[in-house]
Copies of this chain bind each other. A is one copy, B any other.
């Protein structure tokens, strides 16, 4: 049978358990030109929250009654497609379901002998690509610059900071709690990490970057974005990748009150969506793979089990109770 998590209603604020419904349906049969993928792991990303709102965005919202959108990786178990054979490891947008029948659009094969499967939906997947193109193409970091990254222990932020270190920058992170900060500095090699749950971020940033910051990679929005804006140097670049602190707001998003610092400092704030860089994913994966092999880029997955536990695992995205890339194993 095929267990599927479908969107049951549009949440207001933080989703509740009845936002989704778990259904058990027949495993789909495949037509000519299709293959059947057994999905082993799904990726849990803050962006999922945005996909649930009925608003114009960079991709259409998930419709009520549809399988919840998610990145996934699994194995081909049946194939009538010339390009995919049984046993192939395949990643794509499979959604929160144990099996998917597809013509292969948006899916591609990966080599799980080079890296474990979960890594292909983490550091070698969308979050890693977001980090790579965000910090290099949008942030345009240069050797010797000072970079601030929020969500530094997360799937995107951890990679952003490590790439900035590889490129010769001074890198400061923000993360929630002493354990995460310790990981960010000791394991990932950031120069400093500010624990936003327990420390004063403004003071922490002044201490870690007394001359200000050249690049801020923003995953969180809210208060930390405002503090970052107050500390930018001339011609600073702010990369708007996400705003996790604002995704479950019932009221308006908190706009950055300090945005006029962009004027004073001739700064720029630019939004990004990783899909725009799809044609260069190959090059990025090659570089990131090389850095991993050299021990310069570390990847950490936080893997939970059971499609029944989708809701509880999803909550960890927003309550901070995870470390690294959040993944749910859904095959049985």
Residues of A bordering B, CB below 8 Å: 56-58, 221, 226, 240-243, 246, 252-273, 276
B260 touches A257 (CB 8 A): no
Given A254-B255, A255-B226, A255-B254, A270 contacting B260 (CB threshold 8 A): no
B262 touches A240 (CB 8 A): yes
For residue A57, which residue of chain B has the nearest CB? B264
B262 touches A252 (CB 8 A): no
B252 touches A257 (CB 8 A): yes
B263 touches A259 (CB 8 A): no
B260 touches A265 (CB 8 A): no
CA–CA, A270 and B259, complex, Å: 10
B268 touches A270 (CB 8 A): yes
Cross-chain pairs A/B with CB under 8 angstroms, 20 sampled = A56-B264, A57-B264, A226-B255, A240-B259, A246-B260, A254-B257, A255-B256, A255-B257, A255-B258, A255-B259, A256-B259, A259-B269, A260-B271, A266-B270, A266-B271, A266-B272, A266-B276, A267-B271, A268-B268, A268-B270
Contact residue among B246, B256, B270 (Cβ-Cβ distance under 8 Å from A256): B256
Of listed A255, A265, A272, residue having the most chain B CB within 10 A:
A255
Which B residues lie within 8 Å of A256 (CB)?
255-256, 259
